[in-house]
Amino acid sequence: MTKNRNVMVAAAMLALTGTVQAHTHLEMAMPADKSVLASPPSEIMLHFSEATRLTALSIQKDGDKEAKSLSPLPKESSEELSVPVAPLAPGKYVVNWRVVGADNHVMSGALHFTVTGK
């Protein structure tokens, strides 16, 4: 009886682990978080572990009062999402993103990078 119980507990834990890991996650970004760039990026690219829909993307330069929304946002879900960026002046930037996965789970995050202009 104890052996069967242990097998059932182990199976339940594995199933739960699979559920937790099912949510998509950011695998890569360009520019990369905490990167230092000699020239400004022409786009923000986010690569996720599975197809997601980008619902919000903004950029804010250190010292500016408000973030600027970036657009146009891709209309279709994809693993790789990119949005063009107007030319950026040298400075420190934060990019805030929000996506919705296929399971309707909302995820958000931030990327920080610096443009040196040199």
What is the number of residues in the chain?
Answer: 118
Residue 65 lies in a domain: yes
Domain assignment present for residue 2? The answer is no
Please determine, for residue 2, whether its predicted confidence score (pLDDT) is greater than 60.
no
pTM of the model: 0.78
pLDDT tens sequence across 58-98: 999 999 999 999 999 999 999 999 999 999 999 999 999 99
Q: What pLDDT band is residue 7 in, cutting at 50, 70 and 90? A: very low
Q: What CATH number is given to the structural domain containing 40?
A: 2.60.40.1220
Indicate whether 109 belongs to any domain.
yes
Whether 93 is in a domain gets the answer: yes
Per-residue pLDDT at 55: 96
Average pLDDT, the chain: 86
Residue 6 placed within a domain? no
In a domain, 16, yes or no: no
Domain interval for residue 28: 24-115
Residue 34 domain flag: yes
Asked if residue 20 has pLDDT above 90, the reply is: no
Residue located via tokens 């996720």? 48
pLDDT of residue 107: 94
Confidence of residue 17 (pLDDT cuts 50, 70, 90): very low
Q: Name the domain count of the chain.
A: 1
The verdict on residue 67 lying in a domain is yes
Can you give the pLDDT at residue 22? 60
- CB neighbours of residue 38 within 10 Å: 9
Token pair, residue 62, equals 């250190």
Q: Give 7 or 25, the one with higher predicted confidence.
A: 25
